[in-house]
Amino acid sequence: MIDLFSAAGLSELVFLGIVIVTITGAVIATNSVRLIHSVTGLSICFIGVAGLYYYLNSPFVAMMEMLIYVGAVCVVIVFAVMLADPNPEQTAHKQNALAGAGAFLVGAMMFWGLSTLAYDTTWPSAAKTNNGSIMEIGKSLLTSCSMVFELISVVLLVAIIGSIIVARTGRESARRKE
């Protein structure tokens, strides 16, 4: 058993806290009735996932998780919730009780299958060729992964232009309808 009042014990305690934050956030994100609570739960979950990345030796990816998911994606979803104004009282009565139970069953079976697979497999470990620091990531992005790097910038450009066009075009016809 690890001593609780040592550096390793404190690190374990923080790790357990991060795991609890992640799971709580995911529960709030999937089970709250109001969408704005759900978005808040999603951002709590992403903060926890960023902490897990920190424990996986990748502070850079943890920072990117905070920046992109908590800082950008969640804020964009909040904008959409404000623009689309969903009404939970109106949608609640259509919920079929059997559909909820079936969805829970499917999700639980997914979780059970994947986690038993993780525990039953013996994972082979390999010798590391580098230490995975930010410098190595940068080198890899500009040499072996440079093509993917260029492609994803094109994908992001097309996505931004496409979303502007999709969100703009309906505006005139919708105004005429009113």
Partner 1 sequence: MEPLSDSIHIYLTIAALLFGMGFYGMLHRRTLIGMLISAELILSGASLNFMAFNKFLAPDPTVGQIFTLFIMGIAAAEAAIALSIIIAVYRNYRSIDTEDVTSLKG
Residues 23-42 that bind partner 1 (CB under 8 A): 23, 26-27, 29-30, 35, 38-39, 42
Which one of 4, 10, 141, 142 is in contact with partner 1 (CB under 8 A)?
A: 141
Report whether 36 contacts 81 (CB < 8 A): yes
- 74-133 binders of partner 1 (CB under 8 A): 76-77, 79-81, 83-84, 86, 90-91, 94-95, 99-100, 102-104, 106-112, 114-115, 118-119, 123-132
Q: Which of 4, 142, 148, 150 binds partner 1 (CB under 8 A)?
A: 148
Residues 6+ apart with CB under 8 A from 3: 9
Q: Is 4 in the site for partner 1 (CB under 8 A)?
A: no
> Considering beta carbons, is residue 5 or 79 the nearer one to partner 1?
79
Residue 8 interacting with partner 1 (CB under 8 A): yes
CA atoms within 13 A on the CB side of 95: 12
Contact 32, 38 (CB under 8 A): yes
Longest CA pairwise span in the chain (Å): 70
44 near partner 1, rule: CB under 8 A: no
Q: Does 45 bind partner 1 (CB under 8 A)?
A: yes
Please, what is the minimum distance in Å from the beta carbon of residue 116 to partner 1? Answer: 9
Which region holds residue 48: left if phi is over 0, alpha if psi is between -120 and 50, else beta? alpha
